[in-house]
C-alpha cells in the first residue's frame, strides 16, 4: 500500500496540505502495468518508425541506382 499527496489551493492561491490519499495495492499494480504498457507502446512506435525509415531508404537507393547516381 502507498499514499499520494493531496493539496488544496484556495481562490486566493493559498496552498493547504490535505491528508494523504491512500493508494491500494490493486491501484499500484494497475499503475505499474499501465506504465509498462506505455513504455511498450513507445518502443513499438520507435520500431515502426525505424522500419518505415528502412523502407524509405531502400526505395531511395533503388531510385538513385536507376538514375545512375549510385553505381
- For 52-70, give one letter per residue: b (16+ CB within 10 A) or e: eeeeeeeeeeeeeeeeeee
- Give whichever of 2 and 57 is closer to another protein, judged by the CB atom: 2
Least distance from another protein to the Cβ atom of residue 64, Å: 27
Binding site for another protein (CB under 8 A): 4-13, 15, 18, 21, 34, 38, 41, 48
DSSP class of residue 47?
H
CB of 25 to another protein, least distance (A): 18
State which residue, 4 or 67, has the beta carbon closest to another protein.
4
Find out whether 22 and 6 touch, Cβ atoms under 8 Å: no
Amino acid at each position: 500500500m502507498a499514499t499520494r499527496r493531496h493539496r488544496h489551493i484556495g481562490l486566493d492561491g493559498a496552498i493547504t496540505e490535505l491528508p494523504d490519499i491512500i493508494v491500494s495495492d490493486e491501484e499500484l499494480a494497475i499503475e505499474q502495468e499501465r506504465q509498462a504498457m506505455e513504455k511498450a507502446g513507445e518502443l513499438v512506435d520507435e520500431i515502426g518508425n525505424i522500419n518505415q525509415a528502412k523502407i524509405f531508404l531502400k526505395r531511395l537507393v533503388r531510385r538513385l541506382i536507376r538514375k545512375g547516381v549510385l553505381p
